[in-house]
Amino acid sequence: MNVFIIGGTGFIGCRLVRRLVAQGHDVTSMDADPGAHSFADLGGRVTSLRGDVGSFDDVMAAMAAARPERVANLAYLIGSSHPPHAALRVNVLGMGNCFEAARILGVHHTVYAGSYAANGAQANYGERPVTEDDPVHPHDQYSRHKVMNEWQALDYIEKHGMRITGVRTSYITGHDKRRGSVHHVRCITEPALGRAVTLPCRDIMQCMLHVDEMAEVFARLLMADAPARRVYNSGGTTVSLGELAEVVRSHLPDARIDFERETGARGRNPTYLLDNGRLTAEFGLRFRPFPEQVLQVINDTRRRAGLSPVGDDG
């Protein structure tokens, strides 16, 4: 099957591309920075192109050449500090370009990256898991764009009968994450290199999932012929930074992890209790135990630095 991935050399995208090739698919990756990841070892199964998701001509030309049956858009400006016009161009116009090109070309199924950020603060819901049917409470540039993307998808579904599915991703972790929220990443990667780390607050909460698990979520949804729902929570493991530090110390007993404050973040935490029952029930997904995911980040970090792995992976 031919698959077209926008943002294919990014943090999640490069893993998704490799996973799809391993499943026997041919992939075209379009990215503003195609050199960010090399697919040279995949024997010509990946076509990697430079393209701007904010340009309809770029998206349409690349997608038309690929003639895909499946499309995924993972291209996004993470965070809310971007100039309004630039963020709107990539996050909203770019998503519209993806959907419109897929409509014109008759793509069977399009999947896009949403976010838990659409929900806003956990305080909007109390101490209970948030479902996809709960009202959303976006509060900044990034979260409002994510809500807008869900409406764009619904508009295309209702007016053109398209099959479009969104994934509200949680806090994604991996040794090479550099953008967005990275406190949880630094809590793992700095000790993995033998360095001390000081983080803002012990009771910062997050729903964490390793990037490999996230790539599998996208692969499962992308290859589904007719998902039952139009939006799915990815879910993950809910932990505080303090609890994450203890998991890291279970693998690295000498890890030096300190906090500027013990408490103070709880009432301001973004959504961290996410109900992913709809995803796991429909697609049979079962994520690896959380300590195993953390150990992978530790050892991927160490291998990259030329250090020996630790624990069961050593």
**Is residue 197 one of the residues assigned to a domain?**
yes
Tell me: do 130 and 49 sit in the same domain: yes
CA dihedral 151→55→212→1, nearest 10 degrees, is: 90
Tell me: do 193 and 292 sit in the same domain: yes
Whether 268 shows a pLDDT value over 80: the answer reads: no
Tell me: do 123 and 176 sit in the same domain: no
Average pLDDT over residues 257-266: 83
Strands 257-261 and 237-240: unpaired
Tell me: do 16 and 127 sit in the same domain: yes
Q: What is d(CA 127, CA 271) in angstroms, rounded to the nearest whole number?
A: 10
Task: For residue 201, list its beta bridge partners.
Answer: 261
CATH number at residue 61: 3.40.50.720
**Is residue 282 one of the residues assigned to a domain?**
no
Whether 314 shows a pLDDT value over 60: the answer reads: no
**Is residue 190 one of the residues assigned to a domain?**
yes
Tell me: do 38 and 185 sit in the same domain: no
Tell me: do 216 and 99 sit in the same domain: yes
What's the confidence (pLDDT) of residue 252?
98
Q: Tens of pLDDT along 169-221?
A: 999 999 999 887 889 999 999 999 999 999 999 999 999 999 999 999 999 99
Task: Compare 73 and 178 and report the one with higher pLDDT.
Answer: 73
**Is residue 305 one of the residues assigned to a domain?**
yes
Alpha-carbon dihedral sign for residues 292, 215, 10, 235: negative
* Number of domain units in the chain: 2
Q: Look up the domain containing 23 and give its range.
A: 2-170+210-233
- Local structure of residue 271 (DSSP, 8 states): P
Q: What is d(CA 115, CA 71) in angstroms, rounded to the nearest whole number?
A: 18
State how far Cα 262 lies from the chain centre: 29
**Is residue 50 one of the residues assigned to a domain?**
yes
What's the confidence (pLDDT) of residue 262?
82
Q: How many CA atoms lie within 13 A of 259 on its CB side?
A: 19
Average pLDDT over residues 220-234: 97
Tell me: do 51 and 193 sit in the same domain: no
At 3, give phi and psi (nearest 5°): -125, 140
**Is residue 143 one of the residues assigned to a domain?**
yes
Tell me: do 200 and 69 sit in the same domain: no
Tell me: do 56 and 71 sit in the same domain: yes
**Is residue 188 one of the residues assigned to a domain?**
yes
168 exposed, middle or buried (CB, 10 Å; 0-12, 13-18, 19+)? buried
Q: Tens of pLDDT along 37-64?
A: 999 999 899 999 999 999 999 999 999 9
Band (pLDDT 50/70/90 cuts) for residue 269 is confident
Tell me: do 61 and 188 sit in the same domain: no
What's the confidence (pLDDT) of residue 248?
98
**Is residue 278 one of the residues assigned to a domain?**
no
CATH number at residue 246: 3.90.25
Tell me: do 178 and 61 sit in the same domain: no
Tell me: do 119 and 220 sit in the same domain: yes
Average confidence score pLDDT of the chain: 95
What's the confidence (pLDDT) of residue 313?
56
